[in-house]
């Protein structure tokens, strides 16, 4: 550790470059393309996380059911966890133990966690909170392109584009430095099109804002493609040479004539026509989706509809153009590539593929037959905890599902039904407070590792400050448990050694990191995967020559609009949609502990249109009770004509009475298993 250490922000998937001194002073870096010298309010205040008053620095155990958490030694905590895991597995089988990870873990920790589940515990029951974030875009990209990687090229392509269409993303609040690239696009004469039920800070900067009814994005995308077809905007040569399946899509999209789509979505035909003409006229056009379009029970098909539009216009695989996904969590990209998902092994390999199993088992030094098969997805796993045929214990790293999971009150009940809940964290989050064993972990600036940002660029996060006495890294925790469980193979606590093993495990996979080394990342400012050898330059734009499908072509996928799983009715007459605000992040476990951020965004709120507020007898600043079929939450009224009169919005960063995820639905996408966070039926009234 030197006086000033170059590293990256602990928050979103931009992974903005920053420096950190040993005195914990943050400054932005101008050598990282993602932010080029800019930081958001969260980034500037990130060092305050290191000294929050309630930082966990000693292991805690609950010695009796319902008793308090009490300090103990590391040996006592790890011995207790290992003994109880062995006993539960012996009594109920290896799937009696579950593992839940997070999209903020470094690549090394995500890899080691997946390995630990499969060969130390031999359980199939592992998933992570990225299932709630990126899974729909990932599934749709895989079936269209044969690969899932956030942006189709470097983030600097945004500034060079003629048109950017952003569906369901509010990057001005969720990743503000992204807007620097949008500003350059507009300064050069480019245009921004935003699809969102709210006139968000991002939508306010758009040249065109399409404001659909929540849950109708798929119909809108099909309607845009219909207009492109009927008005002669298709790139027919591209469709013939680089794609398959267009005829089936044409047949479906013929049914989405503009007037019908206007009735479904509420978006005027003139606005749809203008959006398509802007995209088709651009020499370089980008279509990006984010959580607003993806967190639905038809999220995969919705993303496929936008991919179909991009393919019909000849965008993917063309330099500076294409379809991409605005990844959310800090390592949302890398976290899903190396084994945290229930159905995947490192390198984005399928766990039910015999060749994949053989390769990874060879790296781990075990028999492929000893690797478990696919397990439950995230919400299904949380819902099964403590049930007759579900896991009896869970190890949880880097997540706070008591706030972030759908139908969160039911998740609380399932966590409480476990025989053993072990949580590794650095603050007493809402989930930590329900744990039987708490293991205090190092923070972002106290350990090293790699992150993969939304570009697919692998970056170095460097240790800048020493960790407090009594705190261990996640790698040390996993190594300590693996030793006690008699797990086969090597369990290094050195991130560089774990990364080298990850490289070998990913070699030959879709997400191939074999040629990426710490030295190359430092010398080159990050390396894009796939990178199969150390003399390979990396792949900033993966689809220029061909798509990684068997025939090298992208696939059109016909999709039909189905609407949300839960429609409004007389009892629940308004749509509820959820999202994020600028000063808070994810479940708020980190940002709600930073005074500057709490001052900027102190409490949950309900955004609603003045007309709706008048009908409900609600005034600005009143406490509002929001109810759904699953529960109730309370927030302070914010009246705004930026939202549709049939829709309300709540941010999801708070627990307690203000927990928006007490309300959200549990319908799952049939492919990605993504819960439908973005729309459910609700009612509002003045709160008691």
Higher pLDDT, 101 or 291: 101
Tally Cβ neighbours within 10 Å of residue 674: 32
Three-state DSSP state, 344? strand
Location of structure tokens 């799937």: 95
Task: Check residue 134 and give its pLDDT.
Answer: 81
Rounded Cα distance, 577 and 589, in Å = 21
Q: Which of 510, 491, 425, 496 is nearest to 460 (CA)?
A: 496
Cross-strand pairs, 349: 345
Rounded Cα distance, 688 and 677, in Å = 26
pLDDT of residue 480 exceeding 70, the answer is yes
Residue 136 vs residues 132, 133, 330, 348, 682: alpha-carbon distances, Å: 9, 8, 18, 15, 24
Q: Which letter does DSSP use for residue 120 in this model?
A: I
Instruction: State residue 608 phi and psi, 5-degree precision.
Output: -150, 155
Provide the b/e sequence for 226-262 (b: ≥16 CB within 10 Å): bbbbeeebbbeebbeebbebbeebbebbeebebeebb
- Burial, 378: exposed, middle or buried (Cβ in 10 Å; 0-12, 13-18, 19+)? buried
List the 208-210 sheet strands across, edge first: 208-210, 191-195, 163-167, 285-289, 322-325
Location of structure tokens 């995308």: 221
Per-residue pLDDT of 484-516, as tens digits, reads: 999 999 999 999 999 999 999 999 999 999 999
The mean per-residue pLDDT over the stretch 84-96 comes to: 97
Per-residue pLDDT of 234-245, as tens digits, reads: 999 999 999 999
| Cα atoms in the 13 Å half-sphere on the side-chain side of 308 | 32
Per-residue pLDDT of 159-201, as tens digits, reads: 999 999 999 999 999 999 999 999 999 999 999 999 999 999 9
Is 60-132+341-454+461-494 assigned to CATH 3.40.50.740?
Answer: yes
pLDDT of residue 318 exceeding 70, the answer is yes
Task: Check residue 279 and give its pLDDT.
Answer: 96
* Contact (CB, 8 A) for 168 and 291: yes
Rounded Cα distance, 549 and 58, in Å = 50
The answer to whether the bond into 530 is cis (omega within 30° of 0) is: yes
For 88-135, strand residue ranges (E) read: 97-101, 126-128
End-to-end CA distance of the chain: 54
* Contact (CB, 8 A) for 25 and 341: no
Is 574-686 assigned to CATH 2.40.40.20?
Answer: yes
Q: Where are the domains of the chain?
A: 4-51, 60-132+341-454+461-494, 135-326, 574-686
Residue 179 vs residues 293, 482, 606: alpha-carbon distances, Å: 19, 44, 26
* Contact (CB, 8 A) for 118 and 97: no
CATH architecture of 4-51: Single Sheet (2.20)
The region of weakest confidence among 56-60, 438-442, 510-514, 667-671 is: 667-671
Task: Check residue 106 and give its pLDDT.
Answer: 96
The residues, ordered by sequence, that sit 6+ positions from 656 with a Cβ below 8 Å of its Cβ are: none
Position 518 confidence tier, pLDDT thresholds 50, 70, 90: very high
* Contact (CB, 8 A) for 199 and 211: yes
Position 481 confidence tier, pLDDT thresholds 50, 70, 90: very high
Domain 4-51 and domain 135-326 have a common topology: no
Sequential DSSP letters for 1-39: --SEEEEE-SSSTT--EEEEETT--EEE-SS-TTTTT--
Tally Cβ neighbours within 10 Å of residue 562: 14
Mean of the per-residue pLDDT values of the chain = 95
Fold of the domain built from segment(s) 135-326: Dimethylsulfoxide Reductase; domain 2 (3.40.228)
Q: Which letter does DSSP use for residue 296 in this model?
A: S
Position 2 confidence tier, pLDDT thresholds 50, 70, 90: low
Position 22 confidence tier, pLDDT thresholds 50, 70, 90: confident
Rounded Cα distance, 98 and 515, in Å = 32
Within its chain, how far is the Cα of 183 from the centroid? 25
Q: Which letter does DSSP use for residue 466 in this model?
A: P
Residue 391 vs residues 45, 387, 478: alpha-carbon distances, Å: 39, 7, 19
Rounded Cα distance, 315 and 303, in Å = 15
Give pTM, 2 decimals.
Answer: 0.95
Residue 124 vs residues 93, 352, 370, 480, 516: alpha-carbon distances, Å: 11, 12, 11, 21, 29
pLDDT of residue 378 exceeding 70, the answer is yes
pLDDT of residue 76 exceeding 90, the answer is yes
The mean per-residue pLDDT over the stretch 542-547 comes to: 95
pLDDT of residue 1 exceeding 70, the answer is no
Rounded Cα distance, 661 and 379, in Å = 13
């Amino acid at each position: 550790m030197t006086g000033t250490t170059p590293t990256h922000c602990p928050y979103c998937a931009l992974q903005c470059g920053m420096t950190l001194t040993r005195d914990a002073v943050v400054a932005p870096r101008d050598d990282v393309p993602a932010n080029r010298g800019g930081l958001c309010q969260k980034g500037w205040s990130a060092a305050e996380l290191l000294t929050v008053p309630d930082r966990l620095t000693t292991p805690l155990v609950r010695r009796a059911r319902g008793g308090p958490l009490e300090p103990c030694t590391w040996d006592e905590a790890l011995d207790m966890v290992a003994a109880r895991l062995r006993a539960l597995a012996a009594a109920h089988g290896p799937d009696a133990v579950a593992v839940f990870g997070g999209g903020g873990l470094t690549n090394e920790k995500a890899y080691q966690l997946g390995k630990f589940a499969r060969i130390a515990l031999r359980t199939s029951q592992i998933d992570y909170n990225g299932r709630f974030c990126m899974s729909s875009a990932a599934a749709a990209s895989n079936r269209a392109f044969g690969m899932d990687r956030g942006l189709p090229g470097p983030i600097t392509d945004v500034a060079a584009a003629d048109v950017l269409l952003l569906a369901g993303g509010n990057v001005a609040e969720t990743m503000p430095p992204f807007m620097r690239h949008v500003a350059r696009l507009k300064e050069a004469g480019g245009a921004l099109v935003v699809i969102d039920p709210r006139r968000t800070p991002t939508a306010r900067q758009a040249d065109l804002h399409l404001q659909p009814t929540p849950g109708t994005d798929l119909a809108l995308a099909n309607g845009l493609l219909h207009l492109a077809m009927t008005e002669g905007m298709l790139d027919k040569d591209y469709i013939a040479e680089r794609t398959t399946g267009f005829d089936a899509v044409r047949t479906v999209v013929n049914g989405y004539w503009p007037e019908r789509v206007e009735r479904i979505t509420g978006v005027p035909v003139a606005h749809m026509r203008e959006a398509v003409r802007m995209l088709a006229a651009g020499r370089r056009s980008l279509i990006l989706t984010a959580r607003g379009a993806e967190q639905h029970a038809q999220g995969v098909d919705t993303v496929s509809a936008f991919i179909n539009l991009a393919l019909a216009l000849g965008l993917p695989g063309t330099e500076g153009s294409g379809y991409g996904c605005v990844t959310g969590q800090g390592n949302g990209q890398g976290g899903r590539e190396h084994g945290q998902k229930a159905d995947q092994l490192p390198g984005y390999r399928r766990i039910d593929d015999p060749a994949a199993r053989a390769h990874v088992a060879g790296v781990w030094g075990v028999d492929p037959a000893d690797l478990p098969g696919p397990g439950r997805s995230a919400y299904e796993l949380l819902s099964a905890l403590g049930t007759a045929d579900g896991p009896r214990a869970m190890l949880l790293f880097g997540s706070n599902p008591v706030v972030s999971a759908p139908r969160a009150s039911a998740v609380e009940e399932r966590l409480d039904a476990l025989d053993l809940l072990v949580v590794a964290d650095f603050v007493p989050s809402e989930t930590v407070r329900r744990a039987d064993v708490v293991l205090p972990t190092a923070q972002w600036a106290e350990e090293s590792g790699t992150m993969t940002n939304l570009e697919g660029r692998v970056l170095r996060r460097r240790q800048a400050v020493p960790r407090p006495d009594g705190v261990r890294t996640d790698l040390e925790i996993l190594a300590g448990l693996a030793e006690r469980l008699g797990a086969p193979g090597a369990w290094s606590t050195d991130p560089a050694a774990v990364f080298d093993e990850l490289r070998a495990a990913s070699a030959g996979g879709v997400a191939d990191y074999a040629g990426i080394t710490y030295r190359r990342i430092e010398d080159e400012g990050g390396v894009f995967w796939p990178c199969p050898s150390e003399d390979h330059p990396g792949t900033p734009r993966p689809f220029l020559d061909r798509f990684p499908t068997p025939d090298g072509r992208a696939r059109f996928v016909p999709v039909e609009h189905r609407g949300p799983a839960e429609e409004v009715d007389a009892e629940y007459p308004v749509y509820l949609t959820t999202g994020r605000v600028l000063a808070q992040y994810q479940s708020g476990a980190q940002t709600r502990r930073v005074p500057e951020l709490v001052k900027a965004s102190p409490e949950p709120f309900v955004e609603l249109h003045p007309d709706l507020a008048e009908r409900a007898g609600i005034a600005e600043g009143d406490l509002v009770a929001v109810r759904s079929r699953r529960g109730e939450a309370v927030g302070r009224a914010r009246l705004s004509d930026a939202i549709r009169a049939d829709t309300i919005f709540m941010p999801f960063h708070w627990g307690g009475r203000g927990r928006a995820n007490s309300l959200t639905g549990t319908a799952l996408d049939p492919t990605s298993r993504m819960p439908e966070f973005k729309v459910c039926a609700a009612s509002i009234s003045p709160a008691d």
